[in-house]
Structures are given as C-alpha cells and as structure tokens.
C-alpha cells in the first residue's frame, strides 16, 4: 500500500491486489475484498490497461497486461459489489438508483484488450478461458436478478421482458455457441486421473468453473424460494403451475449435477 501511496505502481502491484482480494473473499472478508477489487480496477484504468492499443501483437508484456485486465474483469463480475447508476434526469427531486442493463447499453468505439493466448496440452481444442470469463458476466446478471427479487420486483419471471427470460436467452445462446470439444461428453472428465488434472491445471480449472457456474445459474434462476413468495399474493396464485413445475425440475436437475461434480473427486480420488 505504501507503493500505491508513493505512486510507484506497476503490474505486479495490481496483480498482488487481485490475489489479496481473492484470498479475502475466500476468507469471507467481503467488504475488504471489494475495496481491493475497486482499487485494482481504478489503477488498471489509470494505467490504460483496459484499452487495447496493440491489436494483433502478442508480446509477453502485452499478454501479461491482457491477462491482468481479464482477471480484474472476472473478479468484478464474480465477486465485486453490484454496480448502480444514479438517475437524476427524470426527477431531480427524487433521484433513483438504476441497475445497468447490458441489453439496453450503447456500444462504444473503444475496444477492450484482446483475449490472452492459451497454452497447454488442451490448447489444440481451442481456447476455453474466454468462455469462462463470458459466463462469469452472465453470473453477475443472475446476482442482479436475485437482488431485484429480494427488493420486491413485481415483474413475473415468465414475462418476455423479465430478467429471467433475458438471462435464459443469453444462456441458451452461449450454450449453442460453446465448442463441442469442451463439452462434458467430449473431454470425458471421469476418465482423467488426479495427476492429469494437476498437469493441465489451467485448462481443468477453467473447465470446472464453467461446469459449476453453468449449473449454478440454472439452480439459482429456478430456486423455489425465489418464487414461493410474490408481493401481495399467495404462492399458489402467484406462480403458474407450468412454470412452477418446470423451474422446480430444472433446479433439481442442475443441483444434482453440482452435487455430482463435488462428490466425484471425493469418491474417486479420496480427496
């Protein structure tokens, strides 16, 4: 922190802040983790790391910067506090906070850093890291959705304009574009030993994150606790039977997959 105060900040300083924030979040020290994530984000922007200025080049220094940027983005999407925008244009006497909406935002001409290159045994299958970062952005939308439900949002999830429907559409689109080479049936996770996973830790850590997060998105979106209470209505009248049955089945199926992914290493390798 003394180096930051003196203005002697380099990439290793920001990288250290990322590691500290991750360790703090794991230790359930969320507020301090948010502080360090925000500090790393601000320092990266001040250093211009958030803008791609060398398109097509892939020097070690540029790759390090790109990995740092996307790591910060991942931390913000996965663990960062929910961002809110203060809206004072419509009613200056009664301003309100608005959640950012990725479906209504305008595209800017500035490009973020390129996706970093991936190395390892499985690099021939194509990159997987970028899909992990993409899914973590969708997970952030799920967190916003749950927050809106907790604050009393009366928009029914089966509405075509609801966050539930929008997230579901994005999820289906991502699943359609996800390469076959990275799918569960292709990689045959159950056929690999513990040593195999450690040898290609970079690939398997990303692959497992994708599996856990994909099933977690379905499980949280369809969690019965979210829909068992509707404002000013009973649970029986608030949720259509078809939606209730479908969402309950999805929550059960994907929760079972999460339990399997957690239990498999324990039963197979004795971890």
At 107, is the pLDDT very low, low, confident or very high (cuts 50, 70, 90)? Answer: low
- Asked if residue 229 has pLDDT above 70, the reply is no
- Asked if residue 217 has pLDDT above 90, the reply is yes
Write down the mean pLDDT value for the chain: 82
- Asked if residue 267 has pLDDT above 90, the reply is no
| Phi and psi angles of residue 223, each rounded to the nearest 5 degrees, phi first | -65, 130
- Asked if residue 23 has pLDDT above 80, the reply is yes
At 151, is the pLDDT very low, low, confident or very high (cuts 50, 70, 90)? Answer: confident
Give the Å distances, CA to CA, from 230 to 72, 73, 202, 205.
Answer: 36, 34, 43, 38
- Mean pLDDT over 232-256 rounds to 78
pLDDT > 70 in the chain, percent: 83
- Asked if residue 25 has pLDDT above 50, the reply is yes
- Asked if residue 22 has pLDDT above 70, the reply is yes
- SS (HEC) of 131-182: HHHHHHHHHHHHHHHHHHHHCCCCCCCCCCCCHHHHHHHHHHHHHHHCCHHH
At 108, is the pLDDT very low, low, confident or very high (cuts 50, 70, 90)? Answer: low
pLDDT for residue 236: 46
- Distance CA(248)–CA(250), nearest Å, equals 5
pLDDT for residue 69: 92
- Asked if residue 254 has pLDDT above 70, the reply is yes
- Mean pLDDT over 205-229 rounds to 88
- Asked if residue 33 has pLDDT above 60, the reply is yes
pLDDT for residue 258: 94
- Distance CA(84)–CA(63), nearest Å, equals 31
What letter would DSSP give residue 121? Answer: G
Residue 216 vs residue 233, higher pLDDT: 216
C-beta separation of 7 from 47 below 8 A:
no
pLDDT for residue 16: 92
Tokens representing 198 are 């450690």
What letter would DSSP give residue 116? Answer: P
- Asked if residue 103 has pLDDT above 60, the reply is no
Tokens representing 216 are 């977690």
- Distance CA(20)–CA(18), nearest Å, equals 5
At 100, is the pLDDT very low, low, confident or very high (cuts 50, 70, 90)? Answer: low
Give the Å distances, CA to CA, from 41 to 44, 61, 134, 254, 267.
Answer: 5, 19, 18, 33, 40
The least confident of 171-180, 220-229, 235-244 is 235-244
Of 239, 219, 217, the residue nearest 228 (C-alpha): 239
């Amino acid at each position: 922190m003394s180096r930051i105060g003196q203005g002697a900040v380099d990439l290793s300083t920001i990288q250290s802040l990322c590691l500290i924030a991750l360790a703090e979040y794991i230790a359930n020290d969320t507020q301090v983790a948010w502080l360090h994530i925000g500090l790393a984000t601000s320092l990266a922007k001040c250093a211009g790391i958030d803008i791609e200025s060398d398109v097509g080049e892939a020097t070690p220094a540029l790759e390090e910067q790109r990995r740092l940027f996307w790591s910060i983005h991942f931390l913000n999407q996965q663990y960062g506090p929910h961002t809110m925008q203060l809206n004072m244009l419509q009613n200056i006497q009664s301003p309100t906070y608005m959640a950012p909406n990725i479906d209504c935002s305008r595209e800017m001409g500035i490009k973020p850093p390129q996706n970093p290159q991936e190395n390892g045994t499985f690099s021939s299958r194509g990159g997987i890291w970028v899909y992990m970062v993409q899914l973590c952005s969708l997970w952030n939308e799920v967190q916003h959705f749950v927050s809106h439900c907790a604050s009393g949002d009366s928009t029914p999830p089966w509405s075509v304009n609801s966050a539930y429907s929008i997230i579901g559409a994005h999820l289906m689109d991502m699943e359609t574009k996800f390469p076959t080479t990275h799918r569960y049936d292709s990689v045959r996770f159950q056929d690999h030993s513990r040593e195999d996973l450690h040898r290609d830790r970079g690939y398997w850590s990303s692959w497992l994150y994708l599996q856990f997060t994909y099933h977690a998105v379905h499980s949280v979106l369809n969690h019965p606790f979210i829909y068992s209470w509707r404002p000013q209505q009973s649970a029986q009248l608030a949720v259509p039977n078809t939606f209730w049955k479908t969402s309950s089945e999805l929550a059960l199926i994907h929760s079972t997959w999460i339990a399997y992914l957690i239990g498999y290493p324990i039963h197979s390798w004795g971890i």
